[in-house]
């Protein structure tokens, strides 16, 4: 199977309106910058986006919020985006805020085929409203459902033409688990090599999970907040 596509536009070409999409990365680290730009060019609407964060006003998913392409955000951290705040308060955007560990586990469970799991996080708070709770060995737990998506879009450091991926540093936070939880997995990589060039002992995502891969370019690799010490 030839998994290599020419660019981001070809990779996201069949994503329809109202799709559910997972977008990898942690903050602005390891996000699929090229595919986000391609989705904006494509103009797809009504998206449900599952991501650690909602980007910032002029970068990442924040750009898709600005073009009104996102119907619902499912995230754990959204504090850097004024447009997100405006849309939330005005009722334009549906939002599900999820504790970060719970978000990670719901995605992992989706990839592992586990439809329901128990966590103490959120019990007795708004997080647990409308959800089943159980007492297990004397402690109360919230029952959380898996998360799966029509498409999972991830960004890796290196990949080969068979879809095997290696992530770098902080980019490993959400990308690997999302790559197991999408029906169609799209990977953009900084370096694309031939099979056999990656050490199999250091692979993070086996190629069996990936349907499309391409070499990205012009990565900005933004930092949300830069703090420096005064001289």
Predicted TM-score (pTM) of the model is 0.92
**Binning pLDDT at 50, 70 and 90, where does residue 224 land?**
confident
CA atoms of 215 and 226, how far apart (whole Å): 28
User: Over 90: is that where the pLDDT of 143 sits?
Assistant: yes
In this predicted structure, what is the pLDDT of residue 79?
77
User: Over 90: is that where the pLDDT of 230 sits?
Assistant: no
User: Over 80: is that where the pLDDT of 119 sits?
Assistant: yes
In this predicted structure, what is the pLDDT of residue 136?
97
* Tens-digit pLDDT profile for residues 158-216: 999 999 999 999 889 999 999 999 999 999 999 999 999 999 999 999 999 999 999 99
Name the percent of the chain in helix, strand, coil, to the closest 5.
25, 30, 45
CA atoms of 30 and 32, how far apart (whole Å): 7
Helix (H, G, I), strand (E, B) or coil at 83: helix
* Tens-digit pLDDT profile for residues 58-100: 899 999 999 999 999 999 988 778 899 999 999 999 999 999 9
**Binning pLDDT at 50, 70 and 90, where does residue 36 land?**
very high
**Average pLDDT of the chain, as a whole number:** 94
Q: How many CB atoms lie within 10 A of CB 144?
A: 23
CA atoms of 194 and 186, how far apart (whole Å): 18
Cα–Cα–Cα angle for 109, 114, 120, nearest 5°?
65
User: Average pLDDT in the 101-127 region?
Assistant: 96
In this predicted structure, what is the pLDDT of residue 78?
83
Q: Which two tokens stand for residue 58?
A: 């002029």
Identify the structural domains of the chain with CATH numbers, from first to last. 8-115+146-215 (3.40.1080.10)
């Amino acid at each position: 199977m030839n998994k290599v596509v020419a660019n981001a536009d070809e990779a996201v070409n069949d994503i329809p309106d109202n799709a559910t999409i997972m977008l990898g990365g942690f903050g602005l680290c390891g996000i699929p910058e090229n595919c986000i730009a391609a989705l904006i060019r494509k103009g797809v609407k009504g998206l449900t986006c599952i991501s650690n964060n909602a980007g910032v006003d002029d970068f990442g998913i924040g750009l898709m919020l600005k073009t009104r392409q996102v119907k619902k955000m499912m995230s754990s951290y959204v504090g850097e985006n004024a447009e997100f705040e405006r849309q939330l308060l005005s009722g334009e955007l549906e939002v599900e805020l999820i504790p970060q560990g719970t978000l990670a586990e719901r995605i992992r469970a989706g990839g592992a085929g586990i439809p329901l799991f128990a966590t103490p996080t959120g019990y007795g708070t708004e997080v647990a409203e409308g959800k089943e709770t159980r007492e297990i060995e004397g402690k109360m737990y919230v029952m959380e459902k898996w998360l799966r998506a029509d498409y999972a879009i991830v960004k890796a450091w290196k990949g080969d033409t068979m879809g095997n991926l290696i992530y770098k540093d902080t980019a490993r936070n959400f990308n690997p688990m999302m790559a197991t939880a999408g029906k169609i997995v799209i990977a953009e990589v900084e370096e694309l090599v031939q099979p056999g060039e990656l050490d199999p002992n250091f692979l993070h995502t086996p190629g069996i999970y990936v349907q499309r891969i391409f070499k990205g370019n012009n990565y900005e690799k933004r930092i949300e907040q830069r703090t420096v010490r005064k001289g």
